[in-house]
Amino acid sequence: MSDPQGPHGPRRDTRGIVDAPGLFARVRFRRRTPAPELRPYLEHYWLIDWDLPEPYVSRLVPHPSVNLVFGRYAGCGDETAGSAEVSGIGLGLFTQRLEGTGRVCGVQFRPGGFRPFAPGAPVSRWTGRRLPASRVLTPPAPPSAVLDAGDENARVTALDAYLRALGPAPDPRAHRAMALADLVRTDRTVRRVDGLARAEGVSVRSLQRLFAAYVGVGPKWVILRYRIHEALERARSGPGVDWAALAADLGYSDQAHLVRDFTATLGVPPTALADH
């Protein structure tokens, strides 16, 4: 399998972040590349540090990815020791209040890439849930080993070491799921599940079972989520968006369906963001 991150490291886009300029003005946000043997399964590491005079609420339209999150948040009971949790695919808008001083070191798995690290259960079991990592991964994830590492490079090294220790199990079905999810993300002509199934020479039901077991949600949901990401990017570009044309380009039957899905996910219609 080719390196999904290419020669230039982690992706640089801000897809899914509702207010990227506001977030980046308040926190130090970086993406880092995992060790080579982990890259087939991972999108990237993401590191955030903050020291805020006033609280800030970040908002994210999650990717169809599982995340492993090591965090230390001001005002939480785990402020000293930190926490480690597995965050399954978020079905709606994710919000996180940031205040005081804090740190997060996260692992974003590729859609389909988490199951080899936790092969005992379908990924759909974690969808919409945030669980202590000790309930999902063996051996348990030690938050202090990551959060207390001396500098950014040391944190990346600690993440590499922990994920290597998990020993991802080789699984051809996981690689197939990753390839299909990546196709949905990159090929905007993939608009329907039945068309994707025909192209793969499988039944719709077989495709649905594969995605439930390895991605955590169905292929239709993945298609819609990536289209919402695209619509969010366009909404943030400012006024003057031709929403009817964008709806057609994204495979919606009409503009109303795009607006309905967008509003259900973010809580506001796309024009509310375009007006800012």
Q: Are residues 28 and 152 in the same domain?
A: yes
Domain count, the chain: 2
Strands 67-72 and 94-109: antiparallel
Length reported for the chain: 276
Q: At which of 166, 181, 199 does a domain end?
A: 166
Going by pLDDT thresholds of 50, 70 and 90, the confidence category of residue 6 is very low
Q: Is 53 left (phi over 0), alpha (psi -120 to 50) or beta?
A: alpha
Q: What's the pLDDT score for residue 275?
A: 54
Q: Are residues 41 and 60 in the same domain?
A: yes
134-182: pLDDT as tens digits: 999 998 878 999 999 989 999 999 999 999 999 898 899 999 999 999 9
Q: At which of 135, 166, 197 does a domain end?
A: 166
Q: At which of 105, 134, 166 does a domain end?
A: 166
Q: Are residues 228 and 161 in the same domain?
A: no
Q: Are residues 234 and 188 in the same domain?
A: yes
Please report whether residue 1 resides in a domain.
no
The β-bridge partners of 49 are: 28, 103
Q: Are residues 154 and 214 in the same domain?
A: no
Q: Are residues 212 and 145 in the same domain?
A: no
As a whole number of angstroms, the distance between CA 123 and CA 65 comes to: 10
202-215: pLDDT as tens digits: 999 999 999 999 99
Q: Are residues 212 and 86 in the same domain?
A: no
Please report whether residue 254 resides in a domain.
yes
Please report, for the domain that includes residue 243, its CATH number: 1.10.10.60
Q: Are residues 156 and 89 in the same domain?
A: yes
As a whole number of angstroms, the distance between CA 209 and CA 236 comes to: 35
Residue span of the structural domain in which 193 resides: 172-274
